[in-house]
Amino acid sequence: MKGTNTMNDSKEYCPYCNINLQGEPIPKESQKFYGATHFTRKIGITSVNIDSIRKWQCPDCNKEWDRKRKH
């Protein structure tokens, strides 16, 4: 649909302390590659065994949650 912004605004909140995890804006010319308008503040915790992010961590309260958890 022409003129419609379908980009994800990346707004999400920590499931524990409810702080906004939306980070700095992504430069306009790079947003299409990320599929979002903002970076995230979440910290990705990886696993060497599965070579991917398995948990997220809040940079404010330091609590962790499963990557697949729905908020």
Interval 26-71: pLDDT, tens = 999 999 998 899 999 999 999 888 888 999 999 999 999 998 865 4
Helix (H) or strand (E) holding 4: none
Region of 70 on the Ramachandran plot (φ > 0 left; ψ -120 to 50 alpha; else beta)? beta
pTM: 0.76
Number of domains making up the chain: 1
Looking up tokens 């409810």 gives 18
Domain residues for the domain of 61 are 1-71
pLDDT at residue 3, rounded to an integer: 43
pLDDT at residue 1, rounded to an integer: 38
pLDDT at residue 47, rounded to an integer: 84
Write the secondary structure of 24-50 as one string of H (helix), E (strand) and C (coil). EECCHHHHHHHCECEEECCEEEEECCC
Separation of alpha carbons 33 and 44, rounded Å: 19
